[in-house]
Structures are given as C-alpha cells and as structure tokens.
Amino acid sequence: MPARPQRLSPAQAAAPLRSPWGHVARAAAALAAGMGVGRFVYTPILPLMHARAGLSAGAGANLATGNYAGYLIGALTGILAPALVRSPAVLRGSLVALTATLAGMPATDSTAVWFVLRLVAGIASALVFVISAGSLLSHLREHPAHLPGWAFGGVGAGIALSGLLVLVLRAVGDWRTAWWASAALCAVLAAVSWNLRPEDTPAPGPDATAAVPRAPTHRWFGTLFVSYTLEGVGYIVAGTFLVAALGQSSPGWAGSGAWVLVGVAAVPSAALWARLGRRWSRPGLLLTALVVQAAGIALPALSGSVAAALASAVLFGATFIGVSTLALAVGAHLRFPRSVALLTTGYSVGQILGPLVVTPLLHHGYHQALLPAAFVVLAAAVAAGVLRIGFPHHTSAPRHGLPAQRTGEARATAAPGDHT
C-alpha cells in the first residue's frame, strides 16, 4: 500500500477536532486491535496451544520473541520513515495485516509459519501503536491529559475482550477456534478505528531551523532509558507467561479469568496515572508504579492460591500501561532529542530479551520465570529512584519549530500527565 502521508490544507491541519471523545474512541479501538488483541491475545491462547497443539514451552517462548522482534522492526521503521506514521493507508494496511495474521494462525500446524505470522503481527502492532499514539499526542494536546489516557486504556479493553473470548471458547472450542474468534474481534475493532486521523505533517515555520536552547538533560534521560529498558525485560515475561503460570497451579478458569482482570484494571490506569501526574512528581509515580508491578508479578511465584492470582492480575494490569505513559511523559518533559523513539527502542529490545533470558527456566514450569522478572522490574524501580535525585521539574517552555516537532515526536505539552 502507498505510504504517502495524508495531505491537509493549512486550515484543515489547524482545525480543532469536532469531537475529542470521538477521536479518543477511534484511537482506543485501534490500540485495542493492535495491542490488546493482535499482540496480547497470544497470552491466554498459549496454554491451549500447549495442551492441544503440542507446542513446547521453548517453542512458545520463541514465538513470543518473534512477535517482539517484529515490534522492534515496526518501531524502527516508524523512526526511519516518519512519513509512514502520518499515513492513513499505513494504519489501515497494518490493521488488515494484523487481522490476517490472526486468521492465519489456525490454518497451519507449522511452528516456522507461526513464527513468521507472529513476526509480521509484531510489525503491524508497532505501526498501529506509533500512529495511534502520535495521533493522540498531536490532536489532543490542547485537551485535558486524561483524554489520551482513556484512549491508551483501549489496550486494556482489547486484553479484556480477547481474554473473555478465550475464556468462553476454551470450554466449547479449541485453540483454532480461539484464533479465528480473535481475528473476527480484531476486524470489528479495525472497522471502528478505520477513520482515525493520524498526526498531521507539520508545516515548516519561519524559525523551523532555529536552534532551541535547552538545559542539559543527559543524566536524567540516561537513567530513564535504563529504567524503561529493564521494565521491558521484566514486564513482558508476565505479559507472555502469566496465564500459563496460573494455569499450572490454579483451576482451569483462573488463568484466563485473571487475564480478563488484567485488561479491566488496565482500562482506566493510564488516565488515573495521568491525573496523579498533575499533583505529584512523575519520577516518584514511576517508582511507585514499578514497585507495585514487581509485587504483582512475584505474587503467583510465592503463592499458588486463586486470591494471589487475581491480586497479581489487578496489580499488573493497573501498572503496565501507566508505567509506559509515565516514562514517555518524563522523556518528553526532559525534551531530550527523539526521546520517544529512543525509549520505545530500548523498551522493545528489553521485550526481546525477556523471553530469551527466562527460557532455560521454563523446563520446570512458568512460575520459575516470574520471580526473576519481578527482580528485574525492581531494578527498574531502583533506576527510577535514582532519576528522582535533582530531577528538573521545571524546564523552559518549548518554542515553535522544535526539532522534535518536525520529526513527529511527542511534544512535552502533549505528554500524558504533563503538569509543568
């Protein structure tokens, strides 16, 4: 499909949205399709594939790694070709490709083909996420910070819907039925988000090439980068293997039921963390969210009770999207060049490393992987604690023509939870 960005007249580009909530709904649907279903439906289906498709634990981890490698490729593609992330055609093509990869999973028993399909799904998911996030941060920058937060909650809604679908189908169907139903759900969400307006191509101003003085922020950004990369390593282990781990020690419904709870808890989380960011320090909130998440990941490894499984789901769901929105907001606040691109890349690399690091532990069950993942998230929390030392909570106001704006990067004034 052509990757040509949408061309709007200056009047159209400057025109406010008729309905910000309509834009939020379309972006939420895109994120639900691209992330909640296209990316994370693999988590509740994985135990079914182990039980009924003969998929080994190691092969399951490899498929997860393939998806995360595809996500990194998609994120880098958006960085190297910024016109792609402003193109309605690329958004729609990615949604179609994502639906097709979900429908292709039950059509074969080949692990190699599954790997390719999950790789392509990762690329499409990343493009959908970057386009949707850019659209939100661009078109809603003059609106309250909780609005894009609710849109990011679409990831949680997609997780909850797809998890509920798999929970219902596990009793009446098999893993193939679950993939087909997920493809149908993705198609419906894609239709709702079809007319989402991507970020506009910025018009160069008279001072577009002017240098913009900014305070040195390398120290804090480097610490943030380390924290967010470690979060990518730790969170993705739970995001991939939590349902399978719970299924090994709890009743059959507990794993899929807990995953639905993850999605339900995630729906309001970004908006709530954004509201908290207006009153409290974002580095402090990031530290808090990471500690809470580490506790949630560790719970199933420490206790096999259903109560621990459900508490783990709520704590994990309430923090994993919030951590992302807080980290990206901190990076945008620091106005470090291409902060969103760099943080997303580090996060993606962490997600590739996570399943690879814990694969040797999976021979003894998925619980063995959760405790190391919790310690990695705690290490991310320690880095967030260091980030708080001398953090510049007030920075000079951005000027028109900031280079980050010309590259389509999220503006500090557009970041969820910005309060400075």
Is 11 part of a structural domain of the chain? no
Tell me whether residue 12 is in a domain.
no
pLDDT at 397: 42
pLDDT 10s digits, 62-110: 898 899 999 999 988 877 888 888 889 999 999 999 999 999 999 999 9
Q: Is residue 331 part of a domain?
A: yes
Q: What is the pLDDT of residue 174?
A: 85
Question: Residue 252: pLDDT band by 50, 70, 90 thresholds?
Answer: low
Share of the chain above pLDDT 90, in %: 38
Question: Is residue 290 in a domain?
Answer: yes
The residue among 279 and 207 whose pLDDT is bigger is: 279
Note whether residue 130 is domain-resident: yes
> What mean pLDDT value characterizes the chain?
81
How far is C-alpha 348 from the chain's CA centre?
10
pLDDT reported for residue 409? 38
The confidence score (pLDDT) of residue 8 equals 47
Residue 184: which CATH number? 1.20.1250.20
Pick the closest to residue 416 from 226, 143, 223, 185 (CA basis).
Answer: 143
Kindly tell me if the per-residue pLDDT of 181 is higher than 70: yes
pLDDT band at 249 (very low <50, low <70, confident <90, very high): low
In a domain, 5, yes or no: no
Q: Degrees (nearest 5) of the Cα angle 351, 352, 356?
A: 115
In the DSSP assignment, the letter for residue 173 is: S
Per-residue pLDDT at 18 exceeds 80: no
More confident residue, 367 or 285: 285
Contacts of 226 (CB under 8 A, 6+ apart): 380, 383
Could you give the CA distance from residue 166 to residue 86 in angstroms, rounded to a whole number?
A: 34
For residue 162, is pLDDT > 70?
yes
Q: Does residue 306 lie within any of the structural domains?
A: yes
Q: Of the ranges 17-31, 132-146, 269-283, 405-419, which one carries the lowest mean pLDDT score? A: 405-419
Q: So what's the pLDDT on residue 385?
A: 94
How high is the pLDDT of residue 92?
96
Q: Which of 199-203, 283-287, 378-382 has the lowest mean pLDDT?
A: 199-203
- Domain encompassing residue 344: 19-201+215-391+405-414
Give mean pLDDT, residues 222-230: 95
Across 190-194, 240-244, 300-304, the highest mean pLDDT is recorded for 190-194
Q: Domain total for the chain? A: 1
Query: Alpha-carbon distance 324 to 320, whole Å?
Result: 7
Residue scoring higher pLDDT (347 or 337): 347
Determine, yes or no, domain membership for 10: no
Nearest 5°: phi and psi at 205? -95, 175
Task: Calculate mean pLDDT across residues 340-355.
Answer: 85
